[in-house]
Chain A
């Protein structure tokens, strides 16, 4: 029975918008997986833009689920679910029934994929807003909320990967058991007619209605997004500003942003300048006083960026070192030690050598730029 499948009449199952949606989504998810799981950190922009693309694709697809041609309609997914037990029974006997469009298991998978993708977009926006202080939610998302969302985003991302594997296994199973060329079908739109398909009235696409809905949604999104996008990031500190601080504490190294250590650590540093990491960095009493006041007023406790939140957890053994905090070590554990010793960097504390925005205290992923240290003879 399955053998004559190629001789059967071909029917148009997937219309063009659905096929475009499918393959653009595949591409966007590949970009997300590559940049999300494997980095590098400064590919965050790619990750974010692919995320916006997925949001737009999902919105378009949901609208097409209302106005698309028959097999693209959302209600078919729900009605197919009713046949799920029967379908699973057929699969277990290796004799599944051939359904036109998504089979019941496929329908379940599509619903799951769409839900997980929507949740990924939502948590992604929260993470971007609260940890990076970027994107639409930067002005209203506290770090703590984003930190929770980051956990969820990660669990969802792994779930999505598992579901993608499940989806591919499902497609392969149907292609093997029923000899239906599903991949070609998603490219051309045409598939062999299901043999026992009840004759049904196929609803045509309503492109005008779809276009109007998409235009209307775009207007609503713009109206919400525009005012949000002008907000200043919540708890983003001012760049290093105190002139005396820059002059004195910027003489031997870049002037560390005050939000990179908590008050207690700055007080320890300012109280021991004659024994400063193996050097004498002593200052006049007036200078110590002015700089201490500046550091105290702008210490990590006063900012809500990711570095300020995480670097507050200083190491007990070396509370004066940013580079000894568990967070700093974790962020930099993949960099080979000789990179830090290279002539252009020389010290782990030379943050500004790799982080172009160090003086702002933001430490955005996009502003990481490790100087080329590959030239021979530059390490010491």
Chain B
């Protein structure tokens, strides 16, 4: 009985720290993006969820014809599941629904590179990326 309690305590401890770890990594990614944003534009102050939302819903039409918007695959509702053009399910972008979103720096960089190239026909700025993540983390 005592052992089981200790085990439970340990388990919940490690679970709790995993959650905290996830947040740390997202914060680190955001901090890195903020530093880049300041470097690009000294007037930059903070990321904005509202700008991120507008960016997400926009249809820039400067990218590839089959992918006019981020919502083409992620749908307009960040809490809903999306779908790729080839039929594969995409888990919701909202962090409340998919807690490990934006916690793997390499993955985040890879998908911004691809999806911005597909949708906007260019790389996204650090400010756009930070706004996007800030908006999704608030959802």
Contacts and interface: CB of A to CB of B under 8 A. Distances in A.
Contacts of B66: 278-279
A252 B86 contact: yes
A346 B117 contact: no
B88 A253 contact: yes
Interface in A258-297: 274, 278-283
A345 interface: yes
Interface in A293-352: 343-347, 349-350
Contacts of B87: 253, 344-347, 349-350, 353
Interface size class of A (residues with CB under 8 A): 10 to 19
A247 to B, nearest CB: 10
A253 B83 CA distance: 10
A253 B84 contact: yes
A280 B118 contact: yes
B76 interface: no
B118 A252 contact: no
A99 interface: no
B113 A279 contact: no
A282 B85 contact: no
A52 interface: no
A280 B84 contact: no
B117 A280 contact: yes
Interface in B58-76: 64-67
Nearest to B84: A252
A282 B113 contact: yes
A279 B67 contact: yes
Contact of B114 (A278, A280, A344, A346): A280
B64 A346 contact: no
Nearest to A353: B87
Interface string A46-76: 0000000000000000000000000000000
A254 B88 contact: yes
A283 B113 CA distance: 10
Contact of B86 (A253, A274, A283, A343): A253
Interface of A: 251-254, 274, 278-283, 343-347, 349-350, 353
14 contacts: A252-B84, A274-B117, A279-B64, A279-B67, A279-B118, A280-B64, A281-B114, A282-B117, A283-B110, A346-B83, A346-B85, A346-B86, A347-B87, A350-B87
Interface of B: 64-67, 83-88, 110, 113-115, 117-118
